[in-house]
Amino acid sequence: GNSVTQMEGPVTLSEEAFLTINCTYTATGYPSLFWYVQYPGEGLQLLLKATKADDKGSNKGFEATYRKETTSFHLEKGSVQVSDSAVYFCALLDAQGAQKLVFGQGTRLTINP
């Protein structure tokens, strides 16, 4: 079945550091890929998405590129801020339109000033 694997957390960085959170997936066909962010006490917010190979999603300084050859969708940001501290989830949408998201286990990110 479809699955998503994220790098183990937690991840702790200093402000202005470079961020990479790895995400790889297993799926039949060509799923759409997403990054969601969850701040403490809140639900999930869509951060960015990509719907086909080589697409780059971007938002709020975060970027991720859909790499079909490596089945990856790594999240990157050039200079993190304390306000980026949250849990980040990589997810895929079944290409057959199963109407559900399959999530990775989440990566907790803490940014220290």
Partner 1 sequence: KAGVTQTPRYLIKTRGQQVTLSCSPISGHRSVSWYQQTPGQGLQFLFEYFSETQRNKGNFPGRFSGRQFSNSRSEMNVSTLELGDSALYLCASSLSGMRYNSPLHFGNGTRLTVT
Positions touching partner 1 (CB under 8 A) are 32, 36, 41-46, 49, 51, 89, 91, 93, 97-106
What is the smallest separation between the CB atom of 101 and partner 1, expressed in angstroms?
7
Output 48 or 111, the one with its CB closest to partner 1: 48
List of residues 6+ apart from 63 with CB closer than 8 A: 48, 56, 57, 75, 76, 77
Helix segments in the chain, DSSP class H: none
What is the smallest separation between the CB atom of 13 and partner 1, expressed in angstroms?
23
